[in-house]
A and B are shown apart, each in its own frame.
Chain A
Amino acid sequence: MSEVRTASSGTDAGPPPALELVETSRVFTRRGGLFRKAGTPVRAVDGVSLTIHPGETLGLVGESGSGKSTLGRLALRLVEPSGGRLLVDGRDVTDLPKAEMQAMRRDIQMVFQDPYGSLDPRVTIGQSIGEPLKVHGLWDPTDSPQKVAGVMSLVGLDPSHADRYPHQFSGGQRQRIGIARALTLDPKILVLDEPVSALDVSIQAQIINLLQRIQRERGLSYLFIAHDLAVVRHVSHRIAVMYLGKLVELASRDTLYRRPLHPYTVSLLAAVPIADLRMRKRRRTSVAMGEIGSATSVPPGCRFHPRCYRARLVASGGGVPTERSGDALLPRACLMEEPALRACGGGTDQVACHFPETPESRSEVAAAVLQDIGHPPIRPIPLQSA
């Protein structure tokens, strides 16, 4: 295998990325079941490379089952990678022994989706929030209670409630407890797995504001996993779009929502319900695309091809070699070659598609979707030929 190239190993000055994944994979081998063949491997995460810089929020979106949570857990080695490297703060921690990895988790902590399930009902919230200090052997009876009170105030909880139990708190407060607990060790990185999805809309905004304030004050890096594209847009500097274990687009916030390049990104944007009356009067483009494929049998070629509107448009437009697949006519490239994630548009934006929706070649579908979401393109970006 060739030598792994990482952003951290570059000679550029400046701090290394807070977190870096290089060609990271995770294959699960399922036990056989009544209706499932034993041992069908699931490539939940399939060769993903990404970096998160200090103070940056990287949003991670994709349909359910696309591998977002597995990727988040890989970042902490809560699940072990099947391949690839993991670097925290420039340091390769892929092969770190378990005990040292545990120490490494002072720098990288996780907040879970379910504010109900992730707290022990028999333990006071003060103990829960202080527990990471004990686990890391850092508990100090004189200083630590103050530390706990400090993070409680930081997340907007009353420190005098430290001796209460989780059931005495509302969903939004429990999510604050989860965040406080993740902050006790002063980590540099938080992996937030759907941190607001289980909350009421009125409480979502409070938690989003809280996370952004903590980031400003402490310079934390976030991996923010969510399926709500409007929430992700609000919090993220850059966004990664994941489909069946692979990143299909990685772009800065403004370009992702103004000039989405991947047909899957366009399809996701087309499905977002928009709380705006104009949407009733105007035609809304809908891209009917069926359901997400199965991670156990990833389609050959481009894994999105069974659902891709763009491939069908390109094939019917002529000028490219085509082939039949079922009752669809598709470009041969989409059926045969897996597109690599590559730079497109000159900047740092990357896309994995043979026929990306560049401004010059944008389909009427993508144009209509952009109209609908209220972000008409502002300026064309040149396509970097592959």
Chain B
Amino acid sequence: MANPNLSVAPPPPVAPVPAPRPVALELRDLTTVFPGDDGPITVIDGISLAVRDGGTLAVVGESGSGKSMTFLSALGLVASPGRVQRGEVRIGGAEILGRTPEQLRRLRGAVVSMIFQDPLTALNPVFTIGEQIVEVLRAHSGLGRAAARARAVELLARVQIPDPSRRIDDYPHQLSGGQRQRVLIAMAIALSPKVLIADEPTTALDVTVQAQILDLLADLQAETGMALVLITHDLGLVARYADDVAVMYAGRLVEVGSIEEVFSAPRHPYTRALFRSIPRLDGPVDEELPAIEGQPPNVARLPPGCAFEPRCTLGHGRADCCTKRPLPLAGDRAGHRSACFHADRLDQMEAAR
């Protein structure tokens, strides 16, 4: 008998070196500053990234490393007094930085949408979820009220809200956290965007709900060719869903590569330390965790050299690491890139310690 509760997921398709798909979203040298007491504070610094149609780029890094700010900058959503100081943002090949707020507003939702980090504050408590989805649909498309409502029911069904034609009239507080997050996804995909940016979409949720939501996003990608940027600090999710990985530290990119490259042979000491510090289901239990000692950096007071130098077991105190600032990773080159001066010698340096 078929068991509806049980499914053995097919292996994710392993692409046999396909022709490179068109780039859906590309950032070049994106830099954002906020005014500070001692001059401007660079909160993201020279970020260059790309994600292709149908592909998934995971962005990882600790809190405050600039993950959210990178994509808020790309979408023209940096709150004053912050501002994008320089850089380029292309969606489907077209430059969007410098467009008017009204042009950007039309672009968001229809071409690129973002699911924000805090699902509880992102929905308006005084409107039903149906009213909020209908609002998005009507603002961007010519749909009439009845047609928009019918489409909203479809979308709720798509994100697996049970009994959607009834639940559409619920207020946000009547839904569980996981259901609210799925409503936000329904709103984000309502206009079939080319690019979806999901900022920690499941951090506040149970693992059981988390798996459902990410499987749903992966299904959507397979169906519509949507590109996905997944901002997360969960390396388990990265391993399962991402094609490419970008690692950020102190507002800078420190490593970029395909999932295979970054996971099997990380080329930056921060990435290596991060992987080791996480308890694993099959890891040793009777040893101390190899923690990254020290505190996350304050971007207003970075050292003159490599930002990771104070915590880096390989580079700490080395003359070059302390004085020379690593160059931003170039955006126009594919392949596995690291901002570390010693990226080619990490294995030997670790062995020598």
Contacts and interface: CB of A to CB of B under 8 A. Distances in A.
A298 interface: no
A373 B207 CA distance: 15
Given A35-B174, A280-B12, A233 B285 contact: yes
Interface stretch (A8-16, A123-131, A264-272): A264-272
A212 B62 contact: no
Instruction: Give 3 closest A-B pairs by Cβ, nearest first.
Output: A273-B236, A374-B282, A205-B291
Nearest to B179: A291
A284 interface: yes
Contacts of B177: 64
A201 B5 CA distance: 33
Interface in A116-140: none
B100 interface: no
6 contacts: A200-B296, A229-B281, A233-B281, A257-B281, A274-B239, A374-B282
B295 A201 contact: no
Contact of B275 (A35, A63, A257, A275): A275
Nearest to B242: A280
Interface string B262-289: 0110000000011101111111010011
Contacts of B283: 230, 234
A329 B2 CA distance: 11
Contacts of A208: 279, 289, 291
B261 to A, nearest CB: 10
A143 interface: no
Interface of A: 35, 63-64, 170-173, 200-206, 208-209, 212, 227-231, 233-234, 253, 257, 267-269, 271-277, 279-292, 307-309, 312-313, 316, 327-329, 365, 368, 373-375
B301 to A, nearest CB: 14
Contacts, number: 176
Size class of B's contact patch? 35 or more
Given A283-B10, A373-B281, A374-B281, A274 B62 contact: no
A230 B3 contact: no
A86 B308 CA distance: 49
A158 B8 CA distance: 52
Contacts of A288: 5-7, 212
Contact of B281 (A200, A227, A230, A287): A230
A172 B295 contact: yes
B141 interface: no
B6 A291 contact: no
B278 A64 contact: no
B296 A170 contact: yes
Nearest to B235: A275
B280 A283 contact: no
Contact of B208 (A206, A267, A327): A267
Given A234-B279, A271-B210, 17 more contacts: A64-B205, A200-B233, A201-B62, A201-B277, A202-B292, A203-B296, A209-B288, A230-B281, A271-B206, A271-B208, A274-B236, A275-B239, A279-B240, A289-B5, A291-B209, A309-B6, A316-B1
Nearest to A368: B8
B289 A268 contact: no
Given A271-B210, A292-B206, A231 B3 contact: no
B208 A274 contact: no
Given A202-B273, A267-B208, A273 B237 contact: yes
Contacts of A327: 4
Contacts of A230: 278-281, 283
A271 B207 CA distance: 6
B63 interface: yes
B211 A271 contact: yes
Interface string B191-219: 00000000000000111111110010000
Contacts of A269: 281
B344 interface: no
A286 B281 contact: no
Nearest to B273: A202
B55 to A, nearest CB: 14
B347 interface: no
B130 interface: no
A373 B282 contact: yes
Contacts of B205: 64
A306 B7 CA distance: 16
Interface string B52-64: 0000000000110
Contacts of B207: 227, 229, 268, 271-273
A63 B206 contact: yes
B210 A205 contact: no
Interface string B4-31: 1111111110100000000000000000
Contact of A287 (B5, B176, B282): B5
B260 interface: yes
Contact of A206 (B206, B233, B279, B293): B293
A316 B239 contact: no
B185 interface: no
B240 A280 contact: yes
A34 B1 CA distance: 43
Contacts of B306: none
Contacts of B292: 202, 205-206
B288 A285 contact: no
B328 to A, nearest CB: 22
Contacts of B63: 171, 200
